[in-house]
């Protein structure tokens, strides 16, 4: 999956979504590699494992925060779109009602 990053326009939603998915996949592969390597018996090996797991934990926290932020942005876009659509519909209905009112003669005596 290759998603082009736009030049000078900043990242797009699609690009960020693709990057989050890619980072999650890489993180899962790294966790599997640590599990496959098994626990080390010496102090140096255990310290290296602890550093690796700590780094992976920070990466996972950052990715989770980024994903929450992306979800909030998507929800906001949906809400804004719904509001804009409702406003456009109200405008069209108002125009039609005004046109109908202009066509019908008033029944007032």
User: Would 7 be classed as within a structural domain?
Assistant: no
User: Would 40 be classed as within a structural domain?
Assistant: yes
User: Would 108 be classed as within a structural domain?
Assistant: no
pLDDT in tens, 44-102: 888 887 888 888 888 888 888 888 888 888 788 777 777 878 888 889 988 988 888 88
User: Would 6 be classed as within a structural domain?
Assistant: no
Distance CA 27, CA 24 (A): 5
pLDDT in tens, 21-59: 888 888 888 888 878 877 777 888 888 878 888 888 888
Number of structural domains (the chain) is 1
In angstroms, what CA-CA distances link 87 with 79, 84, 92, 95?
Answer: 12, 5, 9, 12
Interacting residues of 23 by C-beta distance below 8 A, sequence separation 6+: 59, 63
> Which range marks the domain in which residue 52 is found?
13-103
User: Would 54 be classed as within a structural domain?
Assistant: yes
* Residue 10 dihedral angles phi and psi, to the nearest 5°: 85, 170
């Amino acid at each position: 999956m290759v998603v082009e990053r736009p030049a000078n326009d900043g990242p797009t939603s699609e690009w960020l979504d693709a990057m989050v998915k890619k980072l999650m996949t890489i993180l899962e592969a790294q966790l599997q590699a640590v599990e496959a390597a098994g626990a080390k018996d010496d102090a140096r090996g255990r310290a290296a494992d602890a550093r690796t797991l700590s780094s992976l934990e920070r990466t996972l926290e950052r990715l989770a925060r980024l994903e929450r932020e992306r979800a909030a942005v998507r929800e906001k876009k949906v809400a804004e779109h719904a509001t804009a659509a409702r406003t456009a519909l109200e405008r069209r209905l108002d125009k039609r009602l005004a046109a109908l009112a202009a066509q019908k003669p008033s029944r007032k005596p």
